[in-house]
Amino acid sequence: MQAAPVRATAIPTVTDALRAVESLLMSSGQRTARRNAWTSVLEDRRRAKDRFEAERVLGEATSVRL
C-alpha cells in the first residue's frame, strides 16, 4: 500500500483569498488606508475596553470605602 502524496503547498485560508482579491481590486494606497483604518478601529476598541475596566475597578474601590 502506498502512502498518500504529501502536499507541498499550504491550502490558502479565507484571509489569504480575501487579500488576493483585495490586491486585484484596490491600489496599494487604498489597501494601506483601509488597513490603517482597521488598525485604528482595533485600537479604539482596546482603549474602550481599558476605560471600561478602569471604571469598574474604580467603582469597586469606591464602594468598598463607603
Whether residue 61 is contained in a domain is answered as yes
Residues 32 and 30: their CA atoms lie apart, in Å, by 5
Whether residue 16 is contained in a domain is answered as no
Residue 57: per-residue pLDDT:
94
Residues 16 and 62: their CA atoms lie apart, in Å, by 49
Whether residue 15 is contained in a domain is answered as no
Residue 4: per-residue pLDDT:
66
Total domains in the fold of the chain? 1
pLDDT digits 0-9 by tens, 9-36: 777 789 888 888 878 887 778 888 988 9
Residues 40 and 60: their CA atoms lie apart, in Å, by 30
Whether residue 47 is contained in a domain is answered as yes
Amino acid sitting at position 58: L
> 45 lies in which domain range?
26-65
Whether residue 8 is contained in a domain is answered as no
